[in-house]
Amino acid sequence: MKYYKTVISLLFVMLLVLVPGCVSKSKYNELKSANDQMTFNLSILEKENQDLQSKNKNLTAEYEAVKTENAALQANNDKLTADNKALTAETATVKTELADAQNTSQSLQTTLSDLRTKYDGINEQLAKINAVFPAKYFVSKEELSNWLAADGTSEYESQNPVEILGYAQQLQETALNDGYLISVNVSQYGETSTYYRIYCTAIVQDTHTLYYWDVLSDGLQILINDVTSFKWATAY
């Protein structure tokens, strides 16, 4: 703008020099006034240009600041995007692991339930065994008589010694299952006899008496009054 102002002023001066005497005072004043107005306008334009340059400088600085901030935001956005992808992948992994853990837990619950069922069954069997083990003597003759009456073996009828021996062994097994001790005995009537007697014996605890009875009857007979005072023979 200063360049334009100088050029215009020079042109105005040259014009006055080249045409001396050709310009009237009024015309001169008019031209001078026009020149002053142009100079004033140029100063205003120059001021506006300076303001515009200052604004442009400020806007350029703001633009650079915004550009830098935008680059930082873009970098942060890229980082957030990468973090989001990583978290998404980690979430998928955790979901898979959680599903596996839930399946494992369900399997363990099923296994635990089966083990509890087996455990309860074993405890029930153990309780039944403990109720009859170890086998013991009958408390009294009455208890022995009642047990024989409830068993029902004496209701069988047979003359076959093999069958009778089988009944006796069956009676002995039933007694063991109920927690009692009885013995099965087979004795020969004579050394040359072909006849054998099959009977059972049991001790009652209150009197230490040894009773015997035929397998197919419940009639108790005393074999030894007190087994604690009985002197047993020793075989050599």
Q: pTM for this one?
A: 0.47
Where do the structural domains in the chain lie, given as residue ranges? 1-131, 141-224
Q: Are 230 and 224 in contact (CB under 8 A)?
A: yes
Q: Print pLDDT tens along the chain (236 aa).
A: 555 555 555 555 555 555 555 568 888 888 888 888 888 888 898 888 888 888 888 888 889 899 888 899 989 989 998 999 998 999 999 999 999 999 999 888 898 899 888 888 888 877 777 666 688 999 999 999 999 999 888 788 888 888 999 999 999 999 999 999 999 999 887 776 777 789 999 999 999 999 999 988 888 999 999 998 876 655 44
Beta bridge partners of 214: 199
CB–CB of 228/208 below 8 Å?
yes
